[in-house]
């Protein structure tokens, strides 16, 4: 029997892989006879490609356009014809130069370039993780990178960004990469917002990307225009989905969910469930005595489909108990247990200084893993003694 370490990242301090490694070191120091299987996870946002690489996928480097046009070095992960593409690593907030938000100008074009690279790699399935995006362009940039032409009233190609969609006069999708018709595209997302309206991409997520109230209103109208013109066009002779903008998840990642569904024919699946399947998590559960999950902050967002709850749900189905490590926990014991997490080991339990929890996360996490081992694996030590 083994312990399965399946954490997400501690944002701002440790990657998911590093968290899993520190858990293993801490448990090894306290209970060296216990095997720790490391299986870092992600929910489709940043860290998704790293989790795939840790699970045995191969890294394929790509040079693509960042959210505001600067070149970035990114990659997708591939195994057995399945490509894992992470929007956050090419068109994400972390890729904005000096972190300067660009609500109207940021584009998903680079994401389309990475998808195109996956097509060139002859992948039959593309899994697109879309958390952490910097853009609110309805996936228009992604469509442009894949051969779609977005034209203004003078017949000129539109500039990048959601703001430019206000001048969109025609969407020509006849040049869309034909390989897409033979490729299954799956969007990993736990967001159920529609494209437009009070719960849409601009209204809910635009302010996080630097949009002022006026920007939000403008972007919402621009996205509506984009959707109406896409619905009026055809893709290789076939009508696109006319009501895709109303579908749950269309507003994900600034509307990339919409562009993927309406134009690329993508299907949306819950992010963490899909990623766990691809990473072979359920096979690693077999014979596990304990699962250790976690992320930087266990809070209300965690309960809305984030990785730790997805891990706990899968482990519960297999009858394996789950505990968590985290930087801090803002959830009561009862709420954690309702989510399937028996106990949480927070860095703030032993170090109240949040800055030190960030800068010294690794050593502190090893200490918490040792405490966890004493609480949950002690009888195992006695059996071996």
Residue at a domain's end among 239, 272, 305? 272
Residues 196 and 305 in one domain: no
Residues 18 and 104 in one domain: no
200-257 residue pLDDT tens: 999 999 999 999 999 999 999 999 999 999 988 865 545 456 678 888 999 999 999 9
How many angstroms separate the CA atoms of 344 and 246, rounded? 38
Structural domain total, the chain:
2
Residue at a domain's end among 237, 272, 307? 272
Residues 261 and 346 in one domain: no
Q: Supply 277's token pair.
A: 């399947």
CATH of the domain at 300: 3.40.50.10350
Q: Supply 241's token pair.
A: 């989905």
Residues 244 and 123 in one domain: yes
Region 140-153 average pLDDT:
97
At residue 383, does pLDDT exceed 50?
no
Residues 283 and 366 in one domain: yes
The burial of 255, by beta-carbon neighbours within 10 Å (0-12 exposed, 13-18 middle, 19 or more buried), is given as buried
How many angstroms separate the CA atoms of 133 and 58, rounded? 24
How many angstroms separate the CA atoms of 274 and 107, rounded? 26
Residues 210 and 76 in one domain: yes
96-117 residue pLDDT tens: 999 999 999 999 999 999 999 9
Full residue range of the structural domain in which residue 213 is found:
48-272
For the chain, the first-to-last Cα distance in angstroms comes to 17
Residues 266 and 314 in one domain: no
Residues 380 and 329 in one domain: yes
Region 138-151 average pLDDT:
97
Nearest to 308 by CA among 5, 3, 1: 5
How many angstroms separate the CA atoms of 257 and 250, rounded? 4
Model pLDDT, residue 382: 43
Distance of CA 157 to CAs 81, 150, 221, 228, Å?
33, 6, 20, 18
303-361 residue pLDDT tens: 987 899 999 999 999 999 999 999 999 999 999 999 999 999 999 999 999 999 999 99
Residues 198 and 82 in one domain: yes
Higher confidence at residue 163 or residue 131? 163
Q: Supply 268's token pair.
A: 């949306």
Residues 67 and 175 in one domain: yes
Nearest to 171 by CA among 142, 198, 203: 142
Model pLDDT, residue 131: 86
DSSP state of 156: P
Model pLDDT, residue 242: 61
Region 129-138 average pLDDT:
95
Model pLDDT, residue 380: 42
Nearest to 345 by CA among 272, 311, 383, 294: 294
At residue 6, does pLDDT exceed 60?
yes
DSSP codes, 202-236 = HHHHGGGGT--HHHHHHHHHHHHHHHHHHHTSEET
- Centre a 10 Å sphere on the Cβ of residue 377 and count the other Cβ atoms it contains: 18
Query: Do residues 194 and 138 touch, judged by C-beta distance below 8 A?
Result: no
250-296 residue pLDDT tens: 999 999 999 999 999 999 998 899 999 999 999 999 999 999 999 99
Model pLDDT, residue 235: 56
* Percent of the residues in the chain that have a pLDDT greater than 70, as a whole number: 96
Model pLDDT, residue 268: 92
DSSP codes, 129-147 = E-TTB---STTHHHHHHTT
Residue at a domain's end among 252, 272, 292? 272
Residues 238 and 168 in one domain: yes
Model pLDDT, residue 379: 60
Model pLDDT, residue 63: 98
29-80 residue pLDDT tens: 999 999 999 999 999 988 999 999 999 999 999 999 999 999 999 999 999 9
- Centre a 10 Å sphere on the Cβ of residue 204 and count the other Cβ atoms it contains: 16
The burial of 53, by beta-carbon neighbours within 10 Å (0-12 exposed, 13-18 middle, 19 or more buried), is given as middle
Residues 303 and 252 in one domain: no
Question: 97-101: which pairs have CB atoms within 8 A and are 24 or more residues apart?
Answer: 97/66, 97/68, 97/70, 101/134, 101/209, 101/210
* Percent of the residues in the chain that have a pLDDT greater than 90, as a whole number: 88
At residue 381, does pLDDT exceed 70?
no
CATH of the domain at 164: 3.90.1510.10
């Amino acid at each position: 029997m083994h312990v399965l370490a399946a954490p997400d990242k501690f944002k701002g301090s440790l990657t998911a892989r590093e968290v899993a490694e520190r858990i293993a070191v801490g448990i090894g120091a306290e209970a060296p006879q216990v095997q720790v299987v490391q299986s870092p996870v992600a929910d489709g946002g940043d860290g998704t490609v790293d989790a795939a690489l840790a699970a045995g996928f191969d890294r394929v480097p790509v040079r693509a356009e960042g959210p505001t046009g600067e070149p970035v070095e990114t990659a997708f992960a591939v195994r057995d014809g399945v490509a894992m593409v992470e929007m956050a690593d090419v068109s994400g907030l972390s890729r904005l130069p000096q972190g300067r938000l660009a609500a109207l100008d940021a584009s998903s074009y680079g994401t389309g370039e990475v998808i195109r690279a996956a097509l060139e790699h002859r992948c039959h399935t593309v899994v697109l993780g879309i958390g952490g995006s910097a853009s609110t362009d309805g996936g228009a940039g992604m469509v442009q990178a894949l051969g779609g032409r977005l034209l203004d009233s003078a017949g000129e190609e539109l500039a990048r960004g959601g703001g430019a969609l206000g001048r969109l006069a025609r969407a020509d999708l006849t040049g869309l990469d034909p390989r897409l018709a033979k490729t299954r595209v799956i969007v990993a997302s736990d967001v159920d917002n529609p494209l437009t309206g009070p719960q849409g991409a601009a209204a809910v997520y635009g302010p996080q990307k630097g949009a002022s109230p006026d920007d939000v209103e403008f972007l919402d109208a621009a996205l509506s225009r984009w959707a109406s013109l896409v619905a009026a066009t055809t893709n290789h002779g076939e009508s696109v989905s006319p009501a895709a903008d109303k579908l749950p998840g269309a507003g994900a990642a600034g509307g990339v969910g919409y562009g993927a569904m309406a134009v690329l024919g993508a299907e949306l699946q819950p992010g963490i469930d899909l990623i766990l399947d691809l990473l072979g998590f359920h096979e690693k559960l077999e014979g596990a005595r304990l699962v250790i999950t976690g992320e930087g902050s266990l809070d209300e967002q965690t309960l809305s489909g984030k990785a730790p709850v997805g891990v706990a749900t899968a482990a519960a189905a297999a009858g394996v108990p789950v505990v968590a490590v985290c930087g801090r926990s803002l959830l009561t014991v009862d709420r954690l247990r309702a989510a399937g997490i028996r106990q949480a080991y927070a860095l703030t339990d032993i170090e109240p200084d949040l800055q030190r929890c960030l800068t010294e996360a690794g050593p502190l996490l090893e200490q918490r893993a040792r405490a966890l081992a004493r609480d949950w694996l002690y009888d195992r030590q006695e059996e071996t003694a």
